């Protein structure tokens, strides 16, 4: 199966669902008086993490439109036109091609929307952790092999150099990650995410999972 096609079949609906649900929760939270109760019903932080994890896949899909449409192109070359009394001669693959193009355009729009948000944070020194932990990049911003194991916070701490020339502590890397993901979630989803994050910080904090 074409890699771009298989990724799109699962990725685009998932991102659509995450964004749609978060937006709906945000609207409801704004309209309700009991904002805190509604904020607890959706985890904006986790939704943001899912988007960050999928961001590199979105880049791969949008980068090669031909690969995205390749299956349709092959169908067109082999298809047989059909005659309909109302529509005349039609190509069955043509309609599939239109739907596929719509899907590509939607995926591209998703990426552009996410990019606009992330561009607000790229100059933040903490963004390097986002790149290393979620985007599978090294400390220099270079993409690692697709089959590389996700970097741990310990490994990230070993590769990052602070302004004072020292490596940050692992707990500092964890804290920076939590802070910037929280900030990104607010930029993505607005006031409801801010409220949800504040409620989460009130809870006793145990060991953060990697």
pLDDT at 29: 45
Residues in the chain predicted with pLDDT less than 50, given as ranges, are: 1, 4-6, 8, 23, 26-34, 73, 77-81, 83, 87-90, 202-210
Is-contact 67 2, C-beta < 8 A?
Answer: yes
pTM confidence score: 0.69
Q: What are the boundaries of each domain within the chain?
A: 3-202
Residues with Cβ within 8 Å of 166's Cβ and at least 6 positions away in sequence, in order, are: none
What stretches of the chain adopt beta strand conformation (E)?
82-84, 88-90
Contact 81, 91 (CB under 8 A): yes
Angle (deg, nearest 10), helices 44-63 and 170-189:
80
């Amino acid at each position: 199966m074409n890699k771009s096609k298989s990724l799109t079949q699962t990725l685009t609906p998932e991102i659509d669902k995450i964004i749609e649900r978060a937006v709906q929760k945000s609207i409801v939270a704004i309209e309700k008086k009991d904002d805190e109760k509604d904020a607890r019903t959706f985890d904006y932080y986790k939704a943001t993490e899912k988007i960050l994890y999928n961001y590199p896949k979105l880049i791969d899909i949008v980068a090669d439109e031909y690969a995205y449409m390749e299956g349709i192109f092959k169908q067109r070359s082999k298809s047989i036109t059909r005659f309909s009394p109302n529509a005349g001669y039609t190509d069955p693959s043509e309609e599939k091609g239109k739907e596929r193009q719509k899907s590509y355009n939607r995926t591209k729009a998703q990426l552009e929307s996410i990019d606009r948000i992330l561009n607000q944070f790229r100059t933040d020194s903490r963004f390097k952790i986002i790149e290393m932990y979620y985007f599978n990049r090294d400390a220099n911003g270079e993409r690692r092999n697709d089959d590389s194991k996700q970097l741990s916070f310990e490994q990230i701490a070993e590769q990052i150099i602070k302004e004072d020339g020292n490596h940050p502590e692992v707990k500092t890397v964890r804290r920076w990650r939590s802070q910037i993901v929280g900030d990104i979630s607010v930029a993505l989803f607005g006031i409801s995410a801010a409220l949800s994050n504040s409620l989460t910080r009130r809870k006793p904090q145990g060991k953060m999972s990697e």
